[in-house]
């Protein structure tokens, strides 16, 4: 008798959970990052001196900035690394795996106001219209001022064609700042 009561309940539970499967399929990530204009928001979660001197980049926990980047159809598998670095950086990939919803990349960057390089490890995920990642940065400067920084970045896609901004010696895409912490000089606030 108990078995007769339990079986219909199991079938009912299975039928009700079917709606989640349809929602999961619509949120599935495409094989590569979708093309279009990406609006990214960066927030500094941790910032510290790496050499016990005043950091060369002026930033603090809680600093936020926004940036925009174009991902043309031809660059979906390897979008410009500045999409994940933020405004004010010129970057190249050291390695990258941006596929099937996963973002895992190491990028090497420079900033005009800093001498030396900034290495960034990017780990996150993407869907058909957004991405979220953690960007951990470590600077390697020839003098004092090295820093470590961890940022959270969230991006939203504006679908449709976009034109990458021309960039001298860059990858063809640039992130344009429209927040308070863009490509400020070393004395200004810069969370990017």
pLDDT beneath 50, residues of the chain: 1-26, 168-192
Q: Does the domain made of 36-176 have the CATH classification 2.40.128?
A: yes
Tens of pLDDT, residues 156-180: 998 777 876 665 444 434 444 333 3
Tens of pLDDT, residues 39-53: 999 999 999 999 999
What is the structure's pLDDT at 166?
Answer: 60
Q: What are the C-alpha distances in Å from 163 to residues 73, 166, 167, 174?
A: 11, 9, 12, 11
**Model pTM score:** 0.74
Q: What are phi and psi of 138, to 5 degrees?
A: -135, 130
What is the structure's pLDDT at 177?
Answer: 39
What is the structure's pLDDT at 100?
Answer: 96
What is the structure's pLDDT at 6?
Answer: 44
What is the structure's pLDDT at 145?
Answer: 96
Domain locations in the chain as residue ranges:
36-176
């Amino acid at each position: 008798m108990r078995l007769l009561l339990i079986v219909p309940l199991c079938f009912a539970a299975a039928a009700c959970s079917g709606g989640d499967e349809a929602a999961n399929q619509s949120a599935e990530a495409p094989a590569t990052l979708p093309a279009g204009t990406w609006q990214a928001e960066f927030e500094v979660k941790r910032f510290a001196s790496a050499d016990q001197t005043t950091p060369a980049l002026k930033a603090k926990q809680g600093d936020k900035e926004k940036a925009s980047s174009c991902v043309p159809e031809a660059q979906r598998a390897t979008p410009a690394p500045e999409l994940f670095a933020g405004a004010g950086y010129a970057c190249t990939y050291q390695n990258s795996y941006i596929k099937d919803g996963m973002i895992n990349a190491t990028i090497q960057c420079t900033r005009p106001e800093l001498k030396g390089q900034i290495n960034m490890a990017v780990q996150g995920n993407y869907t058909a219209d957004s991405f979220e990642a953690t960007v951990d940065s470590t600077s390697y400067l020839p003098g004092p001022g090295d820093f470590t920084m961890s940022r959270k970045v969230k991006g939203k896609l504006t679908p449709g064609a976009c034109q990458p901004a021309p960039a001298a010696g860059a990858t063809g895409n640039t992130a344009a700042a429209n927040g308070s912490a863009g490509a400020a000089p070393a004395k200004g606030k810069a969370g990017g």
